[in-house]
Amino acid sequence: MGVVPRTLYRVYSLMSKSPFNRRAGFAAKNTLLFRDQTTNPLGFQDHIIIPAIKNHLKWSSKVASPFISTTSSYNKALSYASCRLRVRREKFVFIARIRWSRVSRSHRIKHLPPTKLARLAECLGISDDKDIQEKQRSSSEWLVPGDIPLRAVAEIRHYTKGTPQHVLSNIPR
């Protein structure tokens, strides 16, 4: 799965399936129980996880995902935010800075860690899938199963007109 980067970025909007919640942080909508230690190197049940990943990677999919997309690259986050503004014409786009080291030890024990998309695809034998190939070109793509707790959200910036604007503060700890 690899060492989780010190900082991850989550780009989201009011249209996102996993938007920010001031009381909880970020939570995936469909947190299926997809962990089974006996199935493959990462412990995922292939018949559940492979379709879930493919649906997650399609922005047009109506199927709720057990994952939250993040990137370890700030430049990639800016690019995604810009795309949401220009191509998808979304008006309220945000970039959250996630500090995974702030996640409690007990949370890390009970939940799966963020996983690099390329590594996940390789372990599941789906690296050749065309939908996945396009997304894994960037080595900075990380999928977070389940949730990103509030205490890990260090900062949220409103992104508009090509640059991050003001920092949204008052994130309770």
Count structural domains, the chain: 1
| Residue 171 belongs to some domain of the structure | no
| Residue 98 belongs to some domain of the structure | yes
| Residue 141 belongs to some domain of the structure | yes
| Residue 104 belongs to some domain of the structure | yes
| Residue 2 belongs to some domain of the structure | no
Helix (H, G, I), strand (E, B) or coil at 171: coil
Range of the domain at 98: 7-147
| Residue 111 belongs to some domain of the structure | yes
Q: What is the pLDDT of residues 59-86, one digit of tens each?
A: 677 777 888 889 999 999 998 888 888 7
Give 115-150 as a 3 state SS string.
Answer: EEHHHHHHHHCCCCCHHHHHHHCCCCEEEEECEEEH
Predicted local confidence at residue 73, as pLDDT: 93
Q: 0.85 cut: is pTM over it?
A: no
